[in-house]
Structure 1
Amino acid sequence: MTSADQLPRRGERLSHAQQLLLPREQVDFALAPGPDLLSYDQYVISISGGKDSQASLDVLAHLFYEARILHRVTTVHADMGRADWPGTAALAREHAEHYGLRHEIVARSGCDLLDRVAERGKWPDRGRRWCTSDFKRGPIRRVITILVAESRAAGVTDRPIRVLNIMGHRAQESRERRQQAPFIHEPGTTCLCSACSAKRAVGQPPKTSFSNSRRIVDSWLPIHSWNLETVWSRIAVAGTRPHPAYSAGFPRASCVFCIFSSRSGLVRAAQLQPELAAQYATVEQKIGHRFRLDVSMAEVVAEATANTTTPAVADWHP
């Protein structure tokens, strides 16, 4: 974007959830406070192709454009391979390209999620969400490392590179996300910021390593306080295409068979993706570990096959 004329056109594609739309003048698109947006060298926005990242990307792209720092923004999509709905990675790229943003697609090296389950012999669960850490956070951190190296190569060598890590988590989604602070510094054992240095001085060094001597990373959840109506209202004026999972009746565009999904969501997903459901059931049988304590993939497949109707999909909390 180089002029106001090049800002994305709005209102061309409405979401399927028009019943949630509010009159424009009644919607507060204010973002969570926290970062000094002009103080960072790199801005990394995680986008999933889902509604929350889609809505936050629209408001952030215009904010960064007005601040004249859009050239320092990189969007990142963590590709889950066959665990994702078909076309998800392409849709995330489409969202980024709508604003002319640099976009990176990352994935865990080696096997995909389902093969990794077979290797480990267990499915992830709420207490052990290694699917998120191994397939999303880890690969995205590698992008941050690359961007830091690029800033150093561009001449910033006298201080740590400052990175703002941005995600579309909302408090309304779950109890865990309600407890998240909208803006935090990511500490590190060798981080040179004043807070981490002070902790080391009193013998209480941070135990994590997100920030270090080469980079200072902060994380921001700009739409943490937004409700569902605000999200869909923003999408309605954004001009970008919503994930097709929503028009199929799903409240979330997560993995096809998310470990947190409602039972009705799993059954509906198995109706839409029967081959993938069969693969999940095969892995479940092979490792002898139920997909979830309250429901097995074998039960999901059986119910999806026997049910000739389209079940209403109940929501779930990530």
Structure 2
Amino acid sequence: MMWLFMETARATGVVERVHSYYASLGLLDWPGITYHGVYWPGVSEVAAQQSTAFGLPPEQHFEVTRTITGPDGTRMPHSLLTEIATYGRFPRLGSKYCTKSAKETVVSASWTPFVTRRKKELGRPVRILKVQGMRRDESRSRSTLSPYRNVLANGARVVDEWLPALEWTTDAVKEWCDSMPIARHWTYDWYPVLATGWAPPAAPARCAASPPSGICCSRSAGGRALQRSTSWWKAFAATAAATTGGSMT
């Protein structure tokens, strides 16, 4: 998605107005790992690397996270793990409470200082184009999305949403990724030893916190996502530590 958008931004000469955002899930973010002596970066690192690789200066990439007021009155991270403890279950298809609270809402809130400043300078609501990478192939609900729509309009900001990759098929995405020297996160390859190929077709699309067999927003067959994810993680951790000498960092 970002490659498609950055091509347009360069063509229209507005790269300096582009910001990329990564919404951290705190402790549940996939970490970087060392496997067979090779370091594989975590999702936060990959997001920053990809932003730079697509031509955006590092100072225009931002990592944001949800915060709450701590016991001492200062702001502290509000991890997705806290949300899971509150709800008593992981996010799942039909109840993806993480999508808004831990991702979209966090990014939108981070725009507020910029919006406040620019509104004073412009004397009108600030126009923002929110670009996301959803595709029709990903789910039944996303198959009905509009490629361009207005999602918010008030006295401070007018936000439009553009989905440039909406019509891309999964096969087209894989073909593009395999042809470009842009790193993808290692979980898309099942685990690092399979980094020359993609995860088996049964593995669902994963977010920053979801193991390949599906712990978050899972569509795994049989609905045994949590059980399968836990089993996968234990097996992988044991293999990495005992067999290969790999370590989680």
Please give the TM-score of this superposition, normalised by the length of structure 2: 0.70
Choose from 121, 125, 136 the match for 1:171.
136
Match runs of 1:79-98 below 5 Å: 79-86=24-31, 87-98=42-53
* Aligned position for 1:252: 205
Higher strand share: 2
Indicate how the Cα distance of structure 1 residues 151 and 232 shifts in structure 2: closer, same or farther if over 3 A, else same. Answer: farther
Choose from 292, 295, 298 the match for 2:224.
295
Amino acid paired to 1:172? D
Indicate how the Cα distance of structure 1 residues 215 and 262 shifts in structure 2: closer, same or farther if over 3 A, else same. Answer: closer
Separation (CA, whole Å) in 1 of partners of 2:232 and 2:179:
39
Match runs of 1:35-54 below 5 Å: none
Relative CO higher for 1 or 2, CA cutoff 8 Å, sep ≥ 6? 1
Amino acid paired to 1:167? Q
In terms of mean alpha carbon deviation, does 104-113 or 61-70 score higher? 104-113
Separation (CA, whole Å) in 2 of partners of 1:127 and 1:261:
10
CA deviation after TM superposition for structure 1 residue 224, in Å: 0.4
| 1:242 maps to 2:184 | yes
| 1:106 maps to 2:67 | no
Choose from 207, 218, 221 the match for 2:163.
221
Indicate how the Cα distance of structure 1 residues 241 and 120 shifts in structure 2: closer, same or farther if over 3 A, else same. Answer: same
* Aligned position for 1:136: 103
Amino acid paired to 1:295? R
- State whether residues 108 and 139 of structure 1, in contact with CA within 8 Å, keep that contact through their aligned partners in structure 2: yes
Partner of 1:175, secondary structure, is coil
Match runs of 1:30-69 below 5 Å: 56-69=1-14
Amino acid paired to 2:174? W
Identity %: 24
CA deviation after TM superposition for structure 1 residue 298, in Å: 5.3
Question: 5+ residue gaps in structure 1?
Answer: 1-55, 187-209, 265-292, 310-318
Question: 5+ residue gaps in structure 2?
Answer: 32-41, 68-76, 191-198, 240-249
- State whether residues 148 and 161 of structure 1, in contact with CA within 8 Å, keep that contact through their aligned partners in structure 2: yes
Find the structure with the greater CA-based Rg: 1
Separation (CA, whole Å) in 2 of partners of 1:93 and 1:132:
20
Partner of 1:128, secondary structure, is coil
Separation (CA, whole Å) in 2 of partners of 1:253 and 1:125:
12
